Structure 1
Amino acid sequence: MSKLYVGLVNTTDRYVPNKLRPLWNHAAGPKTVFFWAPVFKWGLVAAGLSDLRRPADQLSVSQSASLAATGLIWSRYSLVIIPKNYGLFSVNVFVAITQIVQLYRAWDHSRTHK
């Protein structure tokens, strides 16, 4: 880990309340990449939700299909790794759901506008 990150974690460590210590010290907690990667992946969910306003004829089927598949695969993976990473699971379920909705919108548009 970088010296900056270790310094930030060590400084923050003394301010974490006792009630939050189990989360803070968890193997997939904020001290690890296993926490921060899923946090930043929520940006994909936000992008998928903002695409709901996009006209269905402008949706990328290949992009939506690959993101949906990735979401489903990583959802499964997050439950078989040790430690189980429920943050990774939840973000990938939402990625998959938003992209499946986008795929449905694209399919429905192609079906109704032949």
Structure 2
Amino acid sequence: MSSVVYKNSMKAIGKFVPESLQPLWKHPAGPQTIFFWAPAFKWGLVLAGLGDLQRPADKISVSQSSALGLTGAIWTRYSLAITPKNWSLFSVNLFVAFTAIYQVARAINYQRQQASQQKASAVPT
């Protein structure tokens, strides 16, 4: 029942979509499918990652950021392996991976600095 309502709604909305946007509207990964909306909402993860760039490096979870970066990398590859290629999914996951990997690098760099400072302070003069 709900799929009939959804399909009829999309037909009704499609009548108002300008002719120049019809190829996007009718695309197999267009706005009538989850293949469009899932990546669109996933940009929230990218925005959160960009917001976390202001977070102190000692508050970054390396395991969480690593998992997010790995997931982004896997889904980036997957988005090009499926048919049709989903460029929206590709771009959002590429940005998710990059922001997470950058956070991991910040956290590891901070941890190394802290370890070297502890070693320097532990050496008697």
TM (norm. structure 1) is 0.94
- Give distance in 1, aligned partners of 2:87 and 2:62: 28
* Aligned equivalent of 1:44: 45
TM (norm. structure 2) is 0.86
* Aligned equivalent of 2:103: 102
Q: Deviations over 1:63-111 (max 9, x none)?
A: 1000000000000000010000000000000000000110010011001
- Give distance in 1, aligned partners of 2:98 and 2:38: 19
Give the CA deviation at 1:61.
Answer: 0.7
Return the letter of the residue paired with 2:71.
T
Identity %: 57
- Give distance in 2, aligned partners of 1:64 and 1:103: 6
SS in 2 for 1:29: coil
Give the CA deviation at 1:7.
Answer: 4.5
Give the CA deviation at 1:3.
Answer: 5.3
Return the letter of the residue paired with 1:92.
N
* Aligned equivalent of 1:15: 16
* Aligned equivalent of 2:63: 62
* Aligned equivalent of 2:35: 34
Return 5+ residue gaps in structure 2 as ranges.
116-125
Structure of larger gyration radius = 2
SS in 1 for 2:28: coil
Q: Deviations over 1:8-53 (max 9, x none)?
A: 4233211111111111000000000000000010011011001001
- Give distance in 2, aligned partners of 1:50 and 1:2: 38
Looking at both structures, which has the greater relative contact order when contacts are Cα pairs under 8 Å and sequence separation is at least 6?
1
